[in-house]
Each structure stands twice: as C-alpha cells, then as structure tokens.
Structure 1
Amino acid sequence: MKAPLHIDRRRLLVGAAAVLGGSGLARAGLPVLKAGDQKGGLRALLEAANELQGLDYEIQWTEFPAAAPLAEALNAEAVDLGPIGDAPLIFAQAAGARITAFAVNRSDPYGTAVLVRPDSPLKTAADLKGRTIATNRGSIGHHVALKALASAGLKPDAGTFRFLPPAEAKLALTQGAVDAWATWEPYTAMAETAGHARVLVNGRGLSSGLSFLAATDAALAKKHVQLLDFGRRVVRAQRWSLQHVPEFSATLARIIGIPPEAARLQFERRQQRWIAIDAQVVADQQRTADFFLEAGLLKQALVVKNTFDTSFAVV
C-alpha cells in the first residue's frame, strides 16, 4: 500500500495561507516561525499558560484537522514545525518527507480509540470483523484500529476501512454509514460527552502514547534557536496546565470551540508529559514502524533512529 503522503505544493501553500492566524505580518527585523497545529494542540496550551509573551520572533499559526495534512504542509515547507503522532510521523518519513522529530511527549492513550454508536451491538475488538471502520489513513486512529484487529487475532483486511477526516467520520458513524470510528482526542471526548458514541476499544496496551514536535530540515538548520525556545515554552506550558486544570480546560474549550466538559475530560485523562528522546522512545517508535511494515502499509523497513534530532534540550 502506498504511503499516505501526496503533495500538491502550490495548492497546499495557498490553503495554508488562507487559514493562517495569529501574528500576521512580522515586526520589522524579527524572524518568523511558521507553526502548524492540530485541534486542541499547541496554540491553546501556550496561550492559556501565557507563554506567547516576550517572544523575540513572530509565530504564524496554521491549524489542521489532522496530522496527515499537517505532514503535507511540513513536507512542502508551508510550516516549519508542528505536533504529530507516532503513526503519521512514520508514514511521512517513509514517504520521503524531509522532517525530523526534535521533542517528544507521552500520554495515556485511552482516548486514541475505536468508537461505536451507543446502541451498537459491537462489544469487543473481535466484533470488528467484517465491519466498516472510518478513520484517517495513516493516523493514530488507523494504527489503533489495526492494533485492535490484531489483538483479536484478525488480519488488517478483516475490517473495511473508509478513510475520512474527523468531521466526516463522525457524521458517517452517527448516521450509520459506518460501524465504527477510530479517532483520537479531543474527538473521542467530544463524541462521548455529547452522547454520540462510546469507546469499544481504547488505546491502552495498543498505542505507545507518543507524540512529537517535528520540524523541517530547513527550519532545523536555519531556526534552531527559535525552535529550541518554542519547545521549552511548550514544556513549561504543559507543566503549568497540569497544575491549573480548571483554568486550562476553560481556555482550551474557548480557543478550540469545544464544550468545556469535553475539554476537561480529554485533558485530564491524557496526562501528557514531555520527556527526553531516549532509547525507550526510539524502541517504541521502531516497534510501531515494524508493525506497519508487517501489516503491509509500508513498502520497506524504516530505521527510526535516523529520524530524531536529540540536540534539543527542551526538558
């Protein structure tokens, strides 16, 4: 199966510029850091913790609905950096994207889950056999769905995948067009708290819970100082958020436009921590890459140790 990274550089650059927000035009003489983001991601965290003050560079933000289009933007150098899960990072790098992970966090992967409608007859992972599962191709949702099938002794083709972005996947599930939806936070918490879905299989024991800050090779070479400062601000903001759960949850809900109860649920159960890129991180990421190779989604083996830059001391 072809790796899920298809680049139309001109279209992507125009699309990214259309949704660009935040700082706008750079102040005279200041460098610009083009930051990609996902829903419920870095911008809300940094704003809530007041970590966007005192910058000696500009940040231009572009929000993406999932990691796959963010990976495309990184590959096209439409953004300099962005948060990306373990699975989409692997697919992007396997497809030749010139991006490198320079910081890592680990969280409780419960919310990376396979969801079904509340009245669904499905009870276990084994019940996914012969069912239709909506997810983003190459996403952490795709990964957890495949792992769920494997945990029940089923092959990757035991279920039928429909590759849809989160909003369309949710609609397909609620309308009964698919049997299950494999997704991640905050979409899991939003669906649960709204009564639209329940968790059939959660990611504990299936997913590493790893997520990364990845940057283009060009940004790593030219904007090392800004990337390091940005990473350290993210780490400080994360520590602040864990000590100010009510305040952060309220700010997160406001910034990304989700119900406060969903914002708090997904935040509290993730318990995200930024950690060093150590041997365990590399081993876990290699295990995920090997799983995709065995499942037939990668054409050739990926040596993940070559996809990290450990020179950034953000923690």
Structure 2
Amino acid sequence: MKKLALLALSLVLASAHAETIRVAIGTQDTTINCATGGLLIRELHLLEKYLPKEGKYKGVTYDIQWKNFTSGAPLTNEMVADKLDIGSMADFPGANNGAAFLKAGKQSLFITVLSGSTLGSGNGVVVPKASSITSLSELKGRTISVPFASTAHGMLLRAVAAQGLDPQKDVNIITQAPEVAGPALQANKIEAHADFVPFSELFEHRGIARKIYDGAQANVPTYHGSLVAGEYAKKYPEIVVAFLRAALEADKLIAAEPEKYSELIEKVTGIEAAVTYLYHGPLGLQTRDNTWKPEYRRALATSIETLKLMGRESTLKAETFVDDSYIRAAFKASGLDYEARLKNYDKLPLKANDALTGKPITDFQRVAGIWLVGEPKMRHYASIEGAFADLRKLEGEGKKARGIYVHDLVHRIKLLAPNSHFVVDAKGQLSAFLQKDAADAYAAAVKGKALDFAAAQAAAKAR
C-alpha cells in the first residue's frame, strides 16, 4: 500500500509539473494570400505534425488556439496584448504591428513571406460596375473608401500621390471595410474603393465592380507574411520553426492541386474558388514565396515610410524587424534549399496542353483558361481566341464557366476575362489588357480594334 501511495503521489507531481504551451495563431481567412500561414494549416491539421515532442518539449501539452480576423489591425492589437503569439498580415499592417510592439516596449519579428508580388499586384482600386471612370486620375475630387491601416491604404496613398494629387486635399479618403464596401459599390453609394487581396477581384467576379487600377501599375512590391512576438520566439524557437514547416507543406499542397484547395478555401470562407485560383493557380496574380527577397525587404521599408504619411512616427527599422533565421531553419529541416528559392522569381509554372489541340503550351503571353462548373480541373488554352471560341461551343452544350482567365499583355498579370479589355489584330489574334487606355493605344499601334468581353467573344466566333 505504501508503494502504491508513493507511485500515486509521483504521478500527481509529474502531472502537476507537465507544461502546457500555448500556440495562439491569428489568421485572416478571407485574405486568401495568408492561406498557407493559417487556414490550410488549421483545416489540414499540419501544425500538429511538426510541433516538437522531444528534449525540453517531451511530455508537453500544446494548447493550439486559432482566431480569425478580417484585417491586420485588430490582429495586431491582440498580439500586443499577449493574446496571440503568431499572426499573418500584409507588409503595411505588418509595419504597423512592429511599430505598435515597440510603442508598448516590446518587439515583434517578421519571420516569413507567404505570398506576394515583386511588381505590386494584389492591391487594387475598383469603381461601381456602371461607372464611367476608367483611370485613377479621374478620381480627383471624389470619395474613395479603403480599410484604414491596410496594405491597400498604403498603396492608395502612394498611387494617388503618383498621379500628382495630394491624398489629403485632392481626394476624400474614408475608411470602409470590404464587407461594407461591397454593398456600397452595388448601390453606387461610393465612387471608388481600394482594397487588398482578394476583394478587388472578388467584387469584379460577383459583378458589382470593375477594377481600374492594379498595384502592378505602381511597380511597388507587396506581400503577406507571418509575424511572431519576439519574446515567444526567443522562448520557443522550435515551435516557430514547426509553424513555418507547416506553412511550407501547405504551400507545397496548394501548388500541386490549386483547384482542390481553392475549393476548400471557398468552403471555409465563402470566397469563390475561381477567385482564389486567380491567385494560387499557375501564373497566378501573385506568387507564393517564403523567402525574403530584396524587393520584399524594400517593400517593408516603404511601408514604414508610409506610416509617416499617416502621422505615425516610429523607430522601427526593416533590417532589424525582419528575422529570416527561423524560415531558413524550416527550409533546412524540410530538406529545401532556401538560397535557390531566394534567387528564383518564377511564378508557379503552367505545365499544360492546349485543350483544343492537345499540344504542350509553350508561349504564355496570351494564354487563357476556363474552369467549368462541375469540372475539378481547369481547361488551358494557348490563345485567347481559342479559349473564347471553345467557350461559345461549351455554353451551347449547356455548360457554364465558373472562371475565365486571360493575361494582361502589358503587366503580365492574370485577369478575370469578363471585366478585361481586348484588342483583335488583323490576323484575328486577341490580346488582353487591364486598362482601357492601354488597349486603345495597342489597337492603334497594330491597326487593330479595341473590344469589350462580349465583342471579343464574337470576334473569336467569327474567326
């Protein structure tokens, strides 16, 4: 009996000393660029695979907590309040995160990029569908809404200034969350709205708005990434690396099957899979990338400078805010070459055969894609005219497209075809453009004709 009592006591004492470690992660599910640092890790239970279980972590119980946000600012508030350990957001709110931590006498670290564009694509400005406005310069004297303190806010301030306009005097910028902006656009209650991934394209896809400006026109890099509270990273570096290994696996999975995981993201968020595919599919609007390319470091420095435009002075420095040691360790533990990926700027490649000819697609300037309702995979085409001609045939058979994609000839970004501008040349070749003025200029240069989506479909049929 005495031995049993001692054994029971030892078990109680062991249990009392067993550590429970919190892993509290803030996500932005509807900001689909953060999917590989949040939604996919959570839904596929990837973090549990990599959390350390040996050494000082032997016998540890992990209290994994997930909390979803619609933007970076409230996520930052909870990180600073020590309610979250890790969070994902864009470069500009990330800069605000670092500044907020310093103001509170703490430190956060930007530990990885998740997805971005060295050209700046991803943020955009839209106008109501029926608006006559076709360019940013036409917004002088008008009201533009934007989620304040977001990466789109930073883009808008820079883009307006680049037009020679004073953001404080020449336009009226008001704050508005995307869930409010959508109905406002539909009801023509606002003249323009600037937003981050994926809302410009989502509003386009839902037929309530038309994109007139893409961040690629500013050629200012932008990205989304993950941050960690500095003290947490110092105390539990192995857990931070485990999180990043889970992010790397999520990235690998969605690269291999973008349609499948776009469907999962739609199931969780309501963001249509066709819009997610625009970003995460081959030759996507942005590139998933976990390395700290010089352009992304510069983007962060620009975001810190942009804080000053909002009157938020800070001693935050990009060179000390970014810490790539954890992602480098995650690459090594996952058997990946960080330096090779750091030097690689390629988007997820398109390795496909033309849906009409069966021949491999080798020229990607004018490729197009159609994702039909009820089909698990995209149909790829070597030319826009081939895709549009086939679309007519498919629609005649009673089939319906859930997504139609083309690529801007100027900026090389993927577009949703129904809201794009087109030019048909003398040979019947179609080219796509984001901007109407670019399409008009190209039409004049090649002695072609500028067309809208319906006319481009008709031109493909006539051919």
Q: Normalising by structure 1, what TM-score?
A: 0.82
Q: Give the structure 2 partner of residue 215 of structure 1.
A: 228
| 1:236 aligned residue | 249
Deviation of 1:308 (Å) = 1.9
1:123-162 → structure 2 map (5 Å cutoff): 123-157=134-168, 158-162=170-174
- Letter of the structure 2 residue corresponding to residue 103 of structure 1: T
- 1:45 matched residue in structure 2: 40
My pick for the range that moved more, 244-253 or 298-307, is 298-307
Q: Give the % identical residues.
A: 23
Consecutive unaligned residues of structure 1, counting only runs of 5 or more, are 1-27
1:54 paired with 2:49, answer: yes
Q: 2:246 and 2:69 mapped to 1: Cα distance?
A: 21
User: Is the Cα contact below 8 Å between 2:96 and 2:307 reproduced in 1?
Assistant: no
Asked whether the 8 Å contact 1:35–1:60 carries over to 2, the reply is yes
Change (3 A) 1:253 1:264: same
Contact 2:125–2:212 at 8 Å: present in 1 too?
Answer: yes
Secondary structure, in 3 states, of the residue corresponding to 1:181?
strand
The alpha-carbon distance between structure 1 residues 297 and 272, as it changes in their structure 2 partners (threshold 3 A), is farther
Q: How many residue pairs are counted as aligned between the two chains?
A: 287
1:173 corresponds to which letter in structure 2?
Answer: L
CA drift of 1:47 comes to: 5.0
Pairwise mapping of residues 12-91 of structure 1 onto structure 2 (< 5 A)?
A: 29-39=19-29, 40=32, 41=35, 42-47=37-42, 51-56=46-51, 57-91=62-96
The separation in 1 between residues aligned to 2:244 and 2:133, in whole angstroms, is 42
With over 3 angstroms needed to count, the CA separation of the structure-2 counterparts of 1:239 and 1:297, relative to structure 1, is farther
CA distance in 2, matches of 1:287, 1:112: 15
- Structure 1 position 273, deviation (Å): 2.4
- Asked whether 1:112 is paired with 2:107, we answer no
**Contact 1:135 / 1:181 at 8 angstroms: preserved in 2?**
yes
Given residue 174 of structure 1, which amino acid in structure 2 is its aligned partner?
Q
Distance 1:300 1:58 in 2: 34
In the TM superposition, residue 250 of structure 1 has moved relative to its aligned partner by: 0.9
2:198 maps to: 186
Aligned in 2, Cα 1:47/1:247: closer, same or farther, shift over 3 Å?
farther
**CA RMSD, aligned part only?**
2.3
Matching of residue 281 in structure 1 with residue 293 in structure 2 = no
Taking structure 2 as the reference length, the TM-score comes to 0.57
C-alpha contact (below 8 Å) 1:125/1:151 kept by paired residues: no
Which residue is 2:180 aligned to? 168
In the alignment, the residues of structure 2 paired with residue 285 and residue 91 of structure 1 have an alpha-carbon distance, to the nearest angstrom, of 10
Check whether the contact 2:28–2:71 (CA below 8 A) recurs between aligned residues: yes
**Offset of 1:45 from its aligned partner?**
2.2
Q: Distance in 2 between matches of 1:288 and 1:43?
A: 23
Judge conservation of contact 2:154–2:306 (CA < 8 Å) in 1: no
The answer to whether residue 270 in structure 2 is matched with residue 257 in structure 1 is yes
Counterpart amino acid of residue 231 in structure 2: A
Task: Deviation per CA, 1:131-176: give whole Å up to 9, x if none.
Answer: 1111111111111211221221112222111112221222222222
Partner of 2:97: 92
Q: Secondary structure at the match of 2:121?
A: helix
Residue 227 of structure 1 aligns with which residue? 240
- Greater Rg over alpha carbons, structure: 2
Q: Which amino acid aligns with 2:23?
A: L
The CA distance in 1 between the partners of 2:260 and 2:115, in whole Å, is 22
Cα offset, 1:193, TM superposition: 1.1
Measure how far apart 1:126 and its partner are.
0.6
How far 1:282 moved relative to its partner? 2.5
Tell me the distance in 1 between the aligned counterparts of 2:191 and 2:21.
48
| Structure 2: runs of 5+ lacking an equivalent | 1-17, 52-61, 332-463
RCO comparison, higher one (Cα < 8 Å, 6+):
1
